[in-house]
């Protein structure tokens, strides 16, 4: 992280299935152990849900909210882990966006829908899937009072 800082970069650490940063507790442990302003957390609610974490934002925001520097927007269902559009699963996307808004987050919300084919580290949604994902995100954003930068 020192090199990243000297070069003007920020490193992002994502929670991901099958690696050391898969659960809320492990993500917190790694981010706190590194303890660098040049390391931010890349939050992905669906990935937490897919490893069996419930109430991910309720439980995870106090642990990781201050470290979030980038957000992947996709949602998943806890019972079987399948990916669904934002706000339709157990990833608490509306609550996440509410917390981000309250914190004054102005970073990226990256659509990562994985609605058609989604294996480990892969995903394809096609144009139709991306339209569904974008509409779902816009719906949640409207519900919590967020606006797109293009609307400012």
Which domains does the chain possess?
Answer: 2-151 (3.20.20.150)
Measured between its terminal Cα atoms, the distance across the chain in Å is: 34
Residue 151: per-residue pLDDT: 55
Residue 140: per-residue pLDDT: 98
**Coil vs helix vs strand at 83:** strand
Q: Encoding tokens for residue 119?
A: 């294996």
The Cβ of residue 24 has, within 10 Å, a number of other Cβ atoms equal to 20
Pairing of strands 83-84, 75-76: antiparallel
Residue ranges of the chain with per-residue pLDDT less than 70: 115-125, 151-152
Residue 119: per-residue pLDDT: 53
Max Cα–Cα distance, the chain, nearest Å: 44
Mutual angle of helices 24-34 and 56-64, in 10-degree steps:
10
Residue 21: per-residue pLDDT: 97
Alpha helices in 12-115 (DSSP H): 24-34, 45-50, 56-64, 93-103
Residue 2: per-residue pLDDT: 94
> Against a cut of 0.85, is the pTM above it?
yes
């Amino acid at each position: 992280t020192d090199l990243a800082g000297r070069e003007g970069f920020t490193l992002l650490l994502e929670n991901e299935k099958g690696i050391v940063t898969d659960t809320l507790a492990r993500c917190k442990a790694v981010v706190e152990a590194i303890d660098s302003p040049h390391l931010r957390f890349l939050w992905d609610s669906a990935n937490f849900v897919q490893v069996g974490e419930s109430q991910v934002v309720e439980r995870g925001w106090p642990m990781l909210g201050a470290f979030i520097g980038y957000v992947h927007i996709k949602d998943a269902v806890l019972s079987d882990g399948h990916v669904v559009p934002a706000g339709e699963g157990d990833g608490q996307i509306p609550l996440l966006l509410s917390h981000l808004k309250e914190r004054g987050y102005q970073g990226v919300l990256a659509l990562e829908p994985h609605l058609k084919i989604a294996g480990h580290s892969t995903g394809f949604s096609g144009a139709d899937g991306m339209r569904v994902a974008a509409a779902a995100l816009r719906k949640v954003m409207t519900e919590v009072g967020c606006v797109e930068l293009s609307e400012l």
